[in-house]
Amino acid sequence: MRKLIKGKIAAGLCLALMFGGSTLAYAEDSELIVFDWSGYEDPSFHPAYVEKYNDSPTFTFFGDEEEAFQKLRSGFKADLGHPCSQSVVKWREAGLLKPLDTSRIAAWDDIMPGFKAMKDLMTTEDGQAWLVPFDWGNTAVTYMTEKVTSEQVQSLKAFADPAFEGRVSIGDNVDDAYALASLAIGLKDWSAMTDEQFAEASEFLRQVHKNVRLYWTDNTELSQAMAGGEVDLAWAWNETATTLQADGVPVAIKKDTDEGLSTWVCGYTVMTDAPGSEEKAYDFLNAILDERVSSYIVSEWGYGHSNAKGMDAIDKETLDASGYGDLAAFVDKTLFQSPVPAELKQKMIAEFEKIKAGY
């Protein structure tokens, strides 16, 4: 089933249209445009929408949230966006988001309580809501078990070990990169990073760069590189190990490293000046919270779903296999990708570009 879905996505991308520059679009229902990460056009993420309209929305894609932010700031129009926890405040303060009408979201009260408690993630102090959480998971050590042992990657410092020269991949994503570096230097809360810690984290990434075979931009690119023998060690999302294991590739995800792992929460927002159908936008938001999506996203993609009832309905064996059976253990030794001060974020962006260029 996964291969059929992936094939449909690949075919759609081959027929992609151009929307304002280089943004690819997977065009279907033109009355709703969703600005998203590649892969989330999978119709199994919004089954109720397809059932109602016999179609999926039009999806346009971005590689990371800074790219998405700059494109939206320059005037690109979409109805819904898919930012993650570290970017919601930035998008809201830039005037890109419209407050949600939660009375139109049937499962609003079923969203996992922990997300509602995260400062500035879903709501602001005035009670306005801005984000519908959808998916959550990790960026963690992912390795080829026939070439790398668990002991070799017990520490995140393995990414900078000369023994892995030319065999490493990390995301072309400033948030994941500095999450890795922050953890490697022993920092769990990056929002209060000092100048000295920033310099130390950046130096670690420079050492990692010496080992990097490629900076991946999406799961397909990384999965192909690992399955093809180009990459043995990656800093990757849950999806990579989940999909490769389903195809029989000897790969594992390691969440018990000495320094921990990174955790993120992403969701959908209603964009300011959205050009399409508001009714369809809320139909889509209701569709992605459907309890049927919970089992699919956990078992097929390796991510958690925001609907607590849906997660509770999944059998324990499936949850344990995906690492979501014990949520207390899940968040132990984790760096939450929470918002960082704007000045620090700009420093990260500028420095990461230098690092990738070899400076």
* Pairwise CA distance, residues 302 & 321, whole Å: 9
Indicate whether 121 and 33 sit together in one domain: yes
How far is C-alpha 129 from the geometric centre of its chain's CA atoms?
21
Domain carrying residue 21: 2-136+265-328
Are both 112 and 160 inside the same structural domain? no
CB crowding 224-241: b at 16 or more within 10 Å, else e: ebbbeeebbbbbbbbbbb
Same domain, 6 and 155: no
Identify the pLDDT of residue 35.
98
CB-CB contact of 78 with 274 (8 Å): yes
Q: Please write the tens of the pLDDT for every residue from 112-149.
A: 888 887 777 888 888 899 999 999 989 999 999 999 99
Q: For residue 16, what is the enclosing H or E element?
A: none
For residues 214 and 342, state if they share a domain: yes
Extended beta strands in the chain, E state: 17-19, 23-26, 29-37, 57-62, 80-81, 97-98, 132-144, 168-171, 212-216, 233-237, 251-254, 261-271, 304-305, 334-336
Statement to judge: residues 117 and 188 lie in one domain:
no
172 and 251: one domain?
yes
Residues 90 and 128 in one domain: yes
How many Å separate Cα 56 from the centre of its chain?
Answer: 21
Q: Are residues 92 and 153 in the same domain?
A: no
Over the stretch 10-51, which tens digit does the pLDDT of each residue have? Answer: 333 333 333 333 445 556 788 999 999 999 999 999 999 999
Which amino acid, residue 137? G
Based on the fold, state whether residues 257 and 166 are members of the same structural domain.
yes
What tens digit of pLDDT does each residue of 70-114 get? 999 999 999 999 999 889 999 999 999 999 999 999 999 999 888
Dihedral, 55, 77, 135, 333 alpha carbons, nearest 10: 160
Do residues 117 and 230 share a domain?
A: no
Task: Give the span between the Cα atoms of 92 and 111, in whole angstroms.
Answer: 21
How does pLDDT run across 52-69, given as a tens digit for each residue? 999 999 999 998 898 999
The answer on 108 and 173 residing in a single domain is no
* Count of domains forming the chain: 2
The pLDDT of residue 327: 64
pLDDT digits (tens, 9 = 90+) for 299-356: 999 899 999 999 999 998 888 877 777 766 655 678 888 888 889 999 999 999 999 9
Residues 116 and 29 in one domain: yes
pTM: 0.80
CB contact at 8 A, 234 and 143 = yes
Q: What CATH number is given to the structural domain containing 22?
A: 3.40.190.10
